[in-house]
Structure 1
Amino acid sequence: MAKKKLYSLYIFVMVVADAAAQGNGASGINQATQMVTSYFDPATKLIYAIGAVVGLIGGVKVYGKFSSGDPDTSKTAASWFGACVFLIVAATILRAFFL
Structure 2
Amino acid sequence: MTKKRFFLMAACVMAAAGAMAQGNGQAGITEATQMVTSYFDPGTKLIYAIGAVVGLIGGVKVYGKFSSGDPDTSKTAASWFGACIFLIVAATILRSFFL
> TM-score of the superposition, structure 1-length normalised?
0.78
Aligned length: 82
Calculate the aligned-residue CA RMSD, in Å.
1.5
Moved >2 Å (runs of 4+): none
State the match for 2:98 in structure 1: 98
Letter in 2 for 1:45: K
State the match for 2:59 in structure 1: 59
> TM-score of the superposition, structure 2-length normalised?
0.78
Q: Determine helix, strand or coil for the equivalent of 2:70.
A: coil
Percentage of pairs with the same residue: 85
Task: Kindly provide the CA deviation profile for residues 31-55 of structure 1, in whole angstroms up to 9, marking residues without a partner as x.
Answer: 1100000000000000000000000
State the match for 1:38 in structure 2: 38
Structure with higher helix content: 1
1:69 and 1:97 mapped to 2: Cα distance? 43
State the match for 2:23 in structure 1: 22
State the match for 1:78 in structure 2: 78
Task: Give, in angstroms, the shift of residue 67 of structure 1.
Answer: 0.1
